[in-house]
């Protein structure tokens, strides 16, 4: 048996389809499929169809499986300019969202419309896609010029077991519920991440310097900022830097999604058989 014949049989069996069904899907007879699996080679023009039906690359059909899809994507993204890489990466995320719908029978015209998310979000409406299963959750937002994606694989012991206690979580939300805190957060993130003196934060937020230092202590205690002491001719002053790598921006994105009342669902599935928090 040829390499390609072995691969066709391997992935046909993995997909749980018969030789007859594979032949129908790619437009050949059952006998042709049987011949491939016994040693002959498909015509070159059939390889894209075989690749699509068996959900593998053409390289994989020829036995070139040294690199996984994940490593191949990582290499491709790492070679792109940063702006292009983010756009391409979100396209992959959106493809995962569509794939998690797990509808193998989705017509190509509908599938292609969904995959072209730029066509979906070309107007001013806000769209969401949500997949909620026992094995995890995936959500995506498609706004005119704002897309984000969340993917969670269900922990073995459930989501609740991984979360901090309710009081700790409440304290985090308390930070963002304080008008002074949210004003400081928005100001700090509107600047490049250079040390900022208390007086400058006070001037740009309208918050008293003493209150700024109190707020910043809370933010530092929660590892959202770092405080330093700088010696000046007038004495020592506090300066602060925000942790740009923190989860504040993702949290604000999700909060905005919750706050919006007019999202339109593009696609979705809720097929959990157990509570979200148990």
Q: The domain spanning residue 11 has which CATH number?
A: 1.10.260.40
pLDDT digits (tens, 9 = 90+) for 42-58: 888 899 889 888 888 88
Domain-located, residue 164: yes
- Give the confidence band of 109 by pLDDT, cuts at 50, 70, 90: low
Q: What is the model's pTM?
A: 0.72
Average pLDDT over residues 23-28: 91
Same domain? For 161 and 263 the reply is yes
Would you state the pLDDT for residue 5? 87
Same domain? For 178 and 52 the reply is no
Same domain? For 184 and 85 the reply is yes
Same domain? For 147 and 37 the reply is no
Domain-located, residue 199: no
Out of 70-84, 158-172, 178-192, which region has the weakest mean confidence (pLDDT)?
Answer: 70-84
DSSP state at residue 264: E
Same domain? For 163 and 102 the reply is yes
| 204 has pLDDT over 90 | yes
Domain-located, residue 169: yes
Same domain? For 42 and 178 the reply is no
- Mean pLDDT, the chain, whole residue set: 88
Would you state the torsion angle of the CA atoms of residues 153, 155, 158, 164, taken in this order, to the nearest 10 degrees? Answer: -100
Same domain? For 118 and 167 the reply is yes
- Give the confidence band of 124 by pLDDT, cuts at 50, 70, 90: confident
Domain-located, residue 218: no
- Give the confidence band of 234 by pLDDT, cuts at 50, 70, 90: confident
Is the backbone of residue 237 left (phi > 0), alpha (psi -120 to 50) or beta? beta
Give just the sign of the alpha carbon dihedral 108, 113, 117, 118: positive
Domain-located, residue 107: yes
Would you state the pLDDT for residue 199? 93
Would you state the pLDDT for residue 180? 97
- Which residues sit opposite 226 in a β-bridge? 241
Strand order through the sheet with 136-143: 146-153, 136-143, 127-133, 264-270
- Give the confidence band of 126 by pLDDT, cuts at 50, 70, 90: confident
Same domain? For 256 and 184 the reply is yes
Would you state the pLDDT for residue 72? 78
- CA–CA distance, 186 with 209 (Å, rounded to integer): 17
Out of 10-19, 54-63, 149-158, 198-207, which region has the weakest mean confidence (pLDDT)?
Answer: 54-63
Q: How many domains does the chain have?
A: 2
Same domain? For 45 and 179 the reply is no
Same domain? For 85 and 174 the reply is yes
| 68 has pLDDT over 80 | no
Q: Which two tokens stand for residue 170?
A: 């409440």
Would you state the pLDDT for residue 150? 96
Domain-located, residue 109: yes
Which contacts of 91-94 are long-range, i.e. CB under 8 A and separated by 24 or more positions? 91/117, 93/140, 93/149, 93/151, 94/140, 94/142, 94/147, 94/149
Would you state the pLDDT for residue 119? 61
pLDDT digits (tens, 9 = 90+) for 214-223: 999 999 999 9
Domain-located, residue 7: yes
Same domain? For 39 and 111 the reply is no
Domain-located, residue 95: yes
| 1 has pLDDT over 60 | no
Structural domain containing residue 153: 78-193+244-278
Same domain? For 33 and 97 the reply is no
């Amino acid at each position: 048996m040829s390499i390609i014949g072995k691969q066709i049989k391997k992935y046909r069996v993995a997909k749980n389809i018969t030789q007859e069904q594979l032949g129908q899907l790619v437009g050949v007879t059952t006998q042709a499929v049987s011949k491939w699996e016994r040693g002959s080679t498909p015509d070159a023009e059939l390889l894209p169809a075989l690749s699509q039906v068996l959900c593998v690359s053409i390289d994989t059909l020829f036995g070139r499986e040294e690199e996984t899809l994940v490593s191949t994507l990582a290499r491709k993204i790492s070679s792109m300019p940063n702006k292009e890489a983010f756009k391409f990466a979100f396209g992959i995320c959106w493809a995962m969202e569509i794939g998690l719908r797990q509808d193998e029978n989705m017509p190509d015209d509908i599938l292609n419309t969904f995959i072209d998310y730029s066509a979906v979000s070309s107007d001013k409406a806000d769209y969401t896609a949500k997949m909620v299963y026992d094995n995890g959750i995936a959500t995506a937002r498609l706004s005119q010029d704002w897309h984000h994606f969340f993917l969670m694989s269900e922990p073995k012991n459930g989501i609740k077991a991984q979360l901090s206690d309710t009081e700790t979580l409440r304290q985090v939300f308390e930070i963002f519920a304080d008008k002074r805190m949210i004003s400081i957060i928005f100001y700090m993130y509107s600047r490049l991440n250079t040390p900022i003196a208390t007086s400058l934060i006070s001037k740009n937020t309208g918050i008293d310097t003493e209150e700024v230092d109190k707020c910043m202590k809370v933010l530092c205690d929660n590892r959202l900022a770092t405080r330093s002491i700088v010696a000046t001719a007038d004495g020592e002053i506090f300066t602060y830097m925000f942790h740009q790598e923190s989860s504040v921006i993702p949290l604000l994105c999700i909060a905005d999604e919750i706050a919006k009342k007019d999202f339109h669902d593009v696609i979705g599935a809720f097929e959990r058989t157990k509570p979200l928090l148990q």
